[in-house]
Structure 1
């Protein structure tokens, strides 16, 4: 599910004394200590709530004393992963920290709280994509709030950005815009396969608001995702749910 692991990023402009850490990752003490040693850490940002990106957040805050921000609704309601306040991020907000300009881009779809960060030091630019765009393969539309409609909208927002992409998993993306356009084509191709599977199965979607039967989810997943390893079929099933929700709201 995480390919070769979760990427944490340490960002600073040349010559800046402090840094920003994006996605401290899971609770792995050697990893968190290495990130802290790259400090002083002025700010911690998170791309979305999943534990492979935020599991070590509370401990990292203990190590660095740095504030953290993210579009993390469950953290904001509870006062933060470690009981301290987590200030929410706003779409379009621009942060000036560690000599950098960091713009917040709301990109829901993988989860409802997914964001990307457009980073510039005045000379070069990149976009940190979290799990919205991966360095290899495609992302899952995760339950319970993954949405294909939102995801396609997020891809449309990122498509014009012909800069380097720094993903939460996998290698660096040389041309983010080109990768996003390929992602969108792949999603629409999968959606066509789901439509064909429904037709072949003679299945009808229940009305909006009614639960999707497990038997239908399993049958469509088996018919469409014949090219994925069995270890990721649970993720594929989650994406099928999002695709079926999209179709029955069309």
Structure 2
């Protein structure tokens, strides 16, 4: 789920490895940008592909995925419906291939993902736990033919910033995950929404700077007398279309929790530090 920053967070990837294919779902919107990115990874012609994030329940999109068969495995970066809604149907269309996610609730026909990674289908895949956007968020570091990519789900987007939706999202975890991803210098990032980026580490640095600046703005709003999450949104996110303030309030609640302050309902005040 994207935020309101509309520009790319770092340079776009000029080219991707030949073993990477993008299929974009037809579900564009304020929170999904151009639509959900479904990534297919195939080590060589004829080898079973890996599908990452099958996307929404759209039969046309599923037909486009199945046309890329054979497929050996479906991987999930996190459990939001715009990434997982079609997983069971895709598994059916593909003859029962396993679907694997960090959360057992989204794993079908296979064990939940473990940090040890996955070897097979001619690809080396490391599962990188990156909680924060959601508790179950993971990224995938994939290597083949001396080239690497990082599939970042919604932890890093190709355009804009992601929503950390309290209470499932946790800002402290998210900042730690960005610190981890900042080490992946010069490796292309394949996000869940938006275009591919040239440098995962540079994108993580941008996100860290943006989040820290937002925290400073929230602190200033509280010091100026904001008493509810909604009042913080009205001050800090005044430049955001009001139709997206509901999503901004999710992030504000995560920011308040991170700052050690609690917010109640619209009529409730904030605890003072």
User: Which residue in the other structure is 1:134 paired with?
Assistant: 157
User: Which protein has greater RCO, CA pairs closer than 8 Å, 6+ apart?
Assistant: 2
CA contact (8 A) 2:167 2:254 kept: no
Distance in structure 2 (CA, Å) of the matches to 1:218 and 1:123: 49
Q: What pairs up with 1:95-110 in 2 under 5 angstroms? A: 95-110=118-133
Structure 2 length as normaliser, TM-score?
0.81
More helix by share: 1
Aligned: 1:170 with 2:194: yes
Superposed CA RMSD in Å reads 1.5
Distance in structure 2 (CA, Å) of the matches to 1:184 and 1:218: 24
Give how far 1:143 is off. 3.4
User: Which residue in the other structure is 2:170 paired with?
Assistant: 147
Give how far 1:73 is off. 4.3
Tell which deviates more after alignment, 154-163 or 65-74: 65-74
Structure 2 unaligned spans of 5+: 1-30, 262-272
Give how far 1:89 is off. 0.8
Distance in structure 2 (CA, Å) of the matches to 1:143 and 1:248: 13
Give how far 1:86 is off. 4.5
Give the counterpart of 1:245 among 232, 257, 262: 257
Give how far 1:228 is off. 1.6
Aligned: 1:183 with 2:214: no
Which secondary structure state, in structure 1, belongs to the residue aligned with residue 119 of structure 2?
A: strand
Aligned: 1:6 with 2:30: no
Question: In the superposition, relative to structure 1, how do residues 73 and 241 fare at CA in structure 2: closer, same or farther (>3 Å)?
Answer: farther
CA contact (8 A) 1:20 1:97 kept: no
Q: What pairs up with 1:17-166 in 2 under 5 angstroms? A: 17-64=47-94, 65-75=96-106, 84-91=108-115, 93-162=116-185, 163-166=187-190
Distance in structure 1 (CA, Å) of the matches to 2:44 and 2:225: 58
Aligned residues: 230
Structure 1 length as normaliser, TM-score?
0.88
User: Which residue in the other structure is 1:201 paired with?
Assistant: 225
CA contact (8 A) 1:73 1:113 kept: no
Give how far 1:16 is off. 5.0
Structure 1 unaligned spans of 5+: 204-215
